[in-house]
Every structure is written in structure tokens, then in C-alpha cells.
Amino acid sequence: MTRHRSPEERRAQILDAAKKCFIRDGFAHTRVDDIAREAGLSKGGIYFHFSSKREIFDALHDLEYERNMAVLASIGQEDIPASEKLTRMANQMVTYFHGNEEHRRFLIVLGEMGMREPEVHARILDSHRSYVDALTEIIEAGADSGEFRELSPRGVAMFLKLLIDGIEQGFALGYEIDIPDLITTGLALVQGGLLAGGDR
């Protein structure tokens, strides 16, 4: 007998199927029928949980955003030096990018949609600002404690966010990346410029 799934489990099933379809066929060429077939559900079963294909896409973006912000929030609350927070953030982010091919490929679809659809673009910008805000708090804490030298916290946070975006894109495009070297060398470069009394 098939186990009845909760609404949350059913939504997750639909989102997982939709992500596969969007990655394989692109947003424009994916139909709700395709998502239903991939999920093993009826078309009505999809519409019971989501009003449109676009709502499904937005929900996938929200999941990625919430995961990233949860990582930052967790690290930000730890009672450790700001430089250690940056190290942990780098390790977690790079490990996630490397180990999650679907995430990497979905980012390409998300970027394409952001260039075509103003509403998607606005949602991406909102996510970007929230991420930069969270990074700014870490940089400000490091500067206040004397661990980091006096630089614009917002400027440093923006630089780090753009660096992260570039690393994400590199993984998405299949660049050959030596992960231990990337983390060690990248952190040495960033922290060498941030740490008070560091070489500069």
C-alpha cells in the first residue's frame, strides 16, 4: 500500500521534479505536464499545491536563498573570531557547490531567468542584498574587535559576495577546481588584506 505523503512532502516531490525539468529543458520549454510526469503525479496534483509553473520556480529560488541564509546565520551566531567565521563559511559554501551538481546547474537557469524576467531579477537582487547584509555584520564585528583593519565593511562584503558568485559560476560551468588549494589560497589572499597588521 502506498504511504500517504504530507503536503510538505508532496511539495518537495514536485519541487525536486521541477528542478530536474528546468535544468534539462529550461524554464520556457518546461510544461506543467512535464513536471507532473517527472513527479509521477497528475496535472491536477501539481495545481493543488502550486498555482503556476512560475510559482514553482519562485519556490525553488526561495529554497536556495533560505539554505544560504541559514548557513550564514548559523555561522554568524557562533562565538568565534570573525576570521574563523569567514573560514567556515568558505569551507561550507565550496563543499556544497562541489557536491551538489543540481544546485550548480539550477543557478545557470536562475541566471538566465533573471536576465529575461524583471520580477525574477528583482528577487535575485533582494537575495543578494540580504547576503551582503549578513556578510557586512561579520566584517563589522571583526573591525570592531580590532581583528580586521579599517575598511568599508559593506565594500568588503560586496567583494566577498561577488567572489562567491564567481566561484559558483566556475563550478556550474565545470571548471577544473582544486578545492583545498582554492580555499587555502583564497582565504590567505582575503584575510591577508583584512587582518590588522597583515602584509599589505
Pick the CATH number of 1-51 from 3.40.630.30, 3.40.50.720, 1.10.10.60, 1.10.260.40: 1.10.10.60
CATH superfamily of 57-194: Tetracycline Repressor, domain 2 (1.10.357.10)
The residue among 123, 125, 145, 139 whose CA lies nearest residue 57 is: 123
Strand, helix or coil at 195? strand
Domain ranges of the chain: 1-51, 57-194
Instruction: Render pLDDT for 65-76 as a digit per residue (tens, 0 to 9).
Output: 999 899 989 999
Q: What is the pTM of this model?
A: 0.84
Residue 198's pLDDT is 55
DSSP per residue, 55-80 = HHHHHHHHHHHHHHHHHHHHHHTSSS
- Please, what is the average pLDDT of the chain? 90
Amino acid (1-letter code) at residue 47: Y
Residue 58 has pLDDT above 70, yes or no: yes
Instruction: Render pLDDT for 85-126 as a digit per residue (tens, 0 to 9).
Output: 988 988 888 888 888 888 888 989 999 999 999 999 999 999
14, HSE (Cβ side, Cα atoms, 13 Å): 30
